Amino acid sequence: MPFFFLFFLFFFFFFLFIYIYIYIYIYIYIYIYIYFFIFIYIFLYLYINIFIYIFLYLYKILLFIFK
């Protein structure tokens, strides 16, 4: 009887540990993935906006020069 009880405890904690490890790994992985893509989208949005404003400014200068 104690042997089966220890066997049960071992497997219980073993699978519990595996479950917690997988859960934490997936949770961290998904959060890193989401924040990484949010950062990339924000960065690209700002980068594209800066270029648009620079080109618009240059376009206004060129219009003013060649007017």
* Max Cα distance, the chain (Å): 98
- Above 80 in pLDDT, residue 3? no
What are the residue boundaries of the structural domains of the chain, listed by start?
Answer: 1-57
For residue range 10-64, list pLDDT tens digits in order.
888 999 999 999 999 998 989 898 999 999 999 999 999 999 999 999 999 989 8
Tell me the whole-structure pTM to 2 decimals.
0.46
SS3 content of the chain, % helix, strand, coil (to 5): 95, 0, 5
Backbone dihedral angles phi then psi of residue 44, each to the nearest 5 degrees: -65, -40
Residue 66: predicted pLDDT: 86
pLDDT for position 1: 65
